[in-house]
Every structure is written in structure tokens, then in C-alpha cells.
Structure 1
Amino acid sequence: MTEKVTDYLKNAPILLGDEFENREVVFTKVTEQTLEKGWVTEQFLQKIIEREQVFPTGLHQGSFGIAIPHTDPECIVEQFISLVVPKKPVTFQRMDDINLSVDADFIFILGLNQPHQQLAMLQQLMGLIQNTTLLQALSKQTEAQDIITLLEENGY
């Protein structure tokens, strides 16, 4: 059975409607919550900030800005995907051109430590983020459980 995005999202931090000054604040908030659960090592925050500077993860989907930050597998103890849907978009550099930025409406932080799972999850996420109708529905949700339900109903 293929694992789905929701398998990694179910117990992970889902932050909806918070305001973030910048991407480092997003990373810090998710790190605090995952560190508390014992899911990441102390190096996670520094590593994800450094990786994002060298390999930006922002994408412009057409209707929405998306970011898919992740870091080294050795920083991940327990695998997860955290979703952040900020009140106001957070600026990320684009993965296709580091000189351009995108205002991310959705930030999927991947905490995966198995290379094959990372590829499978990226493929699933690419399908998800190309689904504008689903993203529009997700952007209106105010409860984490409603996000999970919507994703499950759509096969993610």
C-alpha cells in the first residue's frame, strides 16, 4: 500500500491562520512543536534554514504560492509532513530562479528520512499542488481535522 500525504500529516503540526514575519519564524514554530514530540534533532532548525538558503523551495502554482522546505534525513527522528497555511503569505525564493521570490500561501515542511519516501511524497504533493480547486478549498479551512478530511476525500 502506498503511503499518503495524510499518513504523515495526521499527528503533525498544522498551523492555520497564524501570522509569520518570515520563513525563519515559520521554521522556528514548526521546529518547536516537532522537537517537543521528539521528532527532530536539535540541528533541525539550523539545517532547514541553511538548506532553504542554498536550495530554495518556493513554487508559483498559478493561483497560489507554495513552498516545500525540507532538510537532511539525519535531522529527522520520526517522519512527518507539517502544513502551514499562514494568514498572510510568507515570502520564499523560487526553486526555479533564486533571484525571484514567491509569496507562499501553503508551506509543506517535509520531515522525511527515507529517500524513496521523499520522492513518493514529492510526487503526491506535486499532484496536490496542481489541484487548484482542492487548494482553494484547503485555504478556506480553519480546523486541522477539516484539512485532513479534505485531503483524504481527495486521495491524499
Structure 2
Amino acid sequence: MSQDQHGDLSAFSMLDLFRMEADSQTQILTDGLLAMERHAGDAAAVEAMMRAAHSIKGAAAIVGLQVVVQLAHGMEDSFVAAQHGRLKLTPERVDVLLSGVDLIVQLSRLDDAGAEAWLAANAAQIDQTLNAIAGIADLPELPALPAAPTPAAAP
């Protein structure tokens, strides 16, 4: 699936276009979240992730993928809260958001024929992930580990 040399996307279905959008936006989310997990990110990274979640939400709404709309909406809310200082993106919260990204990737790769069966077979995982993202602000922050004692100087 690629554009022709003139940028014509008319040969693609709306679902194909959604898949292309989801691929690029989930990469932004994954990269940003992994950077957050390694070290506290900056406001620009959170802004980029908020925009990516918003784009996924809109694209999913166009093609009627309500589960993806819900996942992306919850993620977008988390990023907005982080932007306003109401939510710290701790490693535990990043893990929850990454599970949402993984689920969006899986959902975006389903073909029309198998989508319904996959959704039914994975309903528990989907509900668990949706609930975890909705309750992300309730996740406790782990206390900081005490600093390691400095070794005593050799006599």
C-alpha cells in the first residue's frame, strides 16, 4: 500500500487508509512512550503523543472501529492530563498505555472477514485494557528507590 508518484490514494479503501494512519501514529506513540519509560519526557513528546492518539481516534471513527476510538480517546485524555501536570507518566502508566498501543496495532491489522471473530475471542483482553486506560490516574506511583550507599573509601 503506497501512494503513486502523484500522491493518489483513490485506489485505497477507507479501511486501508485507516491502517496506514494507524501504522504511522502508533509508531509515534510507541517511540514517545518508550522514551518516557527510559526518562521523563518533555512537553513536546507528550504533545506529539496526544496528537497521534487524536488522529487515530478520528480515523477509527470514520471507519466505525469503536473499540479503537475508545482506546485512543482514553490515551488522549491521559496525555492531556500529563500536559497539564495532573498525571505523571510513570513506568507503570506507560506500560498500560503501551498495552493500548499494542491493541490498536492488532485491531488495525484485522481483515474484514476475521474482525468479528477476533473481537469476540479477545473481548476480555479488550475490556481489561480499556478499563486500565480509563483508570490510569488511579495507578499508584511507586516510591523512588533509595540511593545506593556509596562505597567506603579503602584505608
TM class by shorter-chain length? under 0.3
TM-score normalized by structure 1?
0.27
Which structure has more relative contact order (CA 8 Å, sep 6+)? It is 1
Larger helix proportion, structure 1 or 2?
2
Larger strand proportion, structure 1 or 2?
1
**Which is greater in Rg?**
2
TM-score normalized by structure 2?
0.28
